[in-house]
Structure 1
Amino acid sequence: MQFFHSAPTAPTIIPEECSAENNSVTVAWQPPAQSHVEGYVLELDDGNGGDFREVYCGIETICTVDGLHFHCMYNARVKAFNSSGEGEYSELIGLQTAEVAWFTFDPILSGPGLQYSEDSTTVTGEGWEHRVALGSVGFSRGVHYWEFTIDKFDADTDPAFGIARIDVTRDKMLGKDDKGWAMYIDRQRSWFQHAGGHEQRVEGGISAGSTVGVLLDLNHHILTFFVNEEPQGAVAFRDLYGVFYPAVSINRGVSVTLHTALDPPSDSEET
Structure 2
Amino acid sequence: MGRMKSLSLTETFADQFVPDQARLVLIGKKDFCWDFNKKGRDISLYNEKLTANKKHETDHETVLANIGFDSGQHYWEISIDTFVDIEDIYIGVAKKNVGLYTRATDTGCFWGWMCTGDRKFESSPNGNHLSTFGGMCKIGDIIGVLLEFTNGIGSLFFYKNKMFVGRAFDNLPKGTYYPAAC
Are 1:138 and 2:68 counterparts?
yes
2: CA distance, partners of 1:203 / 1:171: 25
Q: CA deviation at 1:235?
A: 3.5
Q: Could you tell me which residue of structure 2 aligns to residue 47 of structure 1? A: none
User: Where in structure 2 are there 5+ consecutive unaligned residues?
Assistant: 1-23
Structure 1 or 2, whichever has the larger Rg, is: 1
Cα distance 1:167–1:192, how it changes in 2: closer, same or farther (>3 A)? same
Q: Could you tell me which residue of structure 2 aligns to residue 214 of structure 1? A: 145
2: CA distance, partners of 1:116 / 1:245: 17
* Higher relative contact order, chain-length normalized (CA < 8 Å, sep 6+): 2
Matching residue's letter, 2:161: N
Q: CA deviation at 1:102?
A: 4.3
Contact 1:225 1:236 in 2 (8 A): no
Contact 1:161 1:174 in 2 (8 A): no
2: CA distance, partners of 1:192 / 1:209: 23
2: CA distance, partners of 1:154 / 1:125: 11
Q: Could you tell me which residue of structure 2 aligns to residue 235 of structure 1? A: 168
User: Where in structure 1 are there 5+ consecutive unaligned residues?
Assistant: 1-70, 72-97, 250-271
Q: Could you tell me which residue of structure 2 aligns to residue 150 of structure 1? A: 80
Matches within 5 A, 1:155-194: 155-186=85-116, 189-194=118-123
TM-score under structure 2 length normalisation: 0.74
Are 1:114 and 2:114 counterparts?
no
TM-score under structure 1 length normalisation: 0.51
Q: Secondary structure at the match of 1:154?
A: coil
2: CA distance, partners of 1:176 / 1:198: 10
Are 1:225 and 2:158 counterparts?
yes
The RMSD of aligned alpha carbons is 2.5
Cα distance 1:99–1:126, how it changes in 2: closer, same or farther (>3 A)? closer
2: CA distance, partners of 1:107 / 1:197: 28
Aligned residue pair count? 154
Matches within 5 A, 1:79-118: 100-118=29-47
Cα distance 1:198–1:231, how it changes in 2: closer, same or farther (>3 A)? farther
1: CA distance, partners of 2:28 / 2:82: 31
2: CA distance, partners of 1:190 / 1:164: 17
Q: Which runs of 4+ in 1 moved over 6 A?
A: none
Q: Could you tell me which residue of structure 2 aligns to residue 125 of structure 1? A: 54
Q: CA deviation at 1:105?
A: 0.1
Deviations, residues 156-186 of structure 1 (Å, cap 9, x unaligned): 2210011111111101222322221121121
